[in-house]
Amino acid sequence: MSKRIIISGGGTGGHIYPAISIANALKLIDPTVEILFVGAQGRMEMEKVPAAGYKIVGLPIAGIQRSLTLKNFSVPFKLMKSLSEAGRVIKEFKPDVVVGVGGYASGPVLFMANRRGIPTLIQEQNSYAGVTNKILSKRAKCICTAYDGMERFFPAQSIIKTGNPVRQDLVNLDEKRADAYTFFGLDPNKKTVLVLGGSLGARTINRTIAAHLGEIKEQDFQVLWQTGKFYISDSKKAVEESGATNVKEMDFIYKMDLAFAAADVVVSRAGAGTISELCLVAKPCILVPSPNVSEDHQTKNAMALVNVDAAQLVTDADCNEKLINEVVALVNNPEKCALLTKNIAKLGIANSAERIANEVLKLIK
């Protein structure tokens, strides 16, 4: 009889792509395993998971809005309905183990699995655990983490440091450097600054780059700028008007391995998945944590690197005033770049999805 596994969670790419990576790793280890995803209705996992070849069920769960809104009155009712639906899904699918990757849906599913005595595993991506995972961890059999010191939040005996699943093409980047320059049309004789803001873009970072194109134009480095789809038209217009020929703007970079291969310095938000990729590719980076994330996770993720001299930080509030000066200073400081590279490389963990998949399979009696 084949093993049956539920993977629950989602809401953002930072939760969904690691979840799919874990599923893929499980299938590689045991092709007969049956996997069902459980997500939140209307969230991006309902599109991304089927595109990756997996079945998904959606719960009506929703989070509490930070602002006062009538939507918050429906949250308790959606939670109760989601708990009922999660119980029904578990009863019908009969999983051997349930995996939670964070996001709205993981709470009800893991809660109901725990009530039924089904082993659960939590994959905590951040350096600062969320409230839901802290509650669920008390009955979880295994908690896979990406950072040291997580016994502050979880039972120490249940913690295994596995790292966060990342794209497996982010290895041997030096061999891809020449191809990267050709692919993006970059000058191989110039240093390259890669600016990232996630798949949708980061407003503060984008506005800062646009506002300082005149200064960037005078520099001896080039910028590869992922703007996100909402900002690409304004960014293109700004680059054209500035005459900055050393800036290449793109709405989305599909070949991230080549982007990292070309990069000498990276400017990025500080989501857990992005941080794990930066540790693996070992590039000097300046992190600009998003302030619009629950429990300020991104700042805490960034500080885990800053505290060991593995990255630099510019706050969102200081971005417009300080970011470009920090970029210029870092690009022109090879000693600092070498130090950041050396220290961030120590934090990289390869094969995380495979490690987590093996822990999942260990829980099946």
Annotated ligand binding at 14? The verdict is: yes
Q: Is 126 annotated as a binding residue?
A: yes
Answer yes or no: is 132 a known binding residue. no
Cα(100)–Cα(9) distance, integer angstroms: 6
User: Is 253 marked within a binding site?
Assistant: yes
Q: What amino acid is encoded at 110 in this protein? A: L
The answer to the question of whether 13 is labelled as a binding residue is yes
- 164 assigned ligand-binding residue: no
Residue 123: CB partners within 8 Å, gap ≥ 6? 18, 19, 22, 99, 100, 101, 102, 144, 162, 164, 356
The binding site consists of 12-14, 126, 167, 199, 253, 298
The binding site for UDP-N-acetyl-alpha-D-glucosamine consists of 12-14, 126, 167, 199, 253, 298
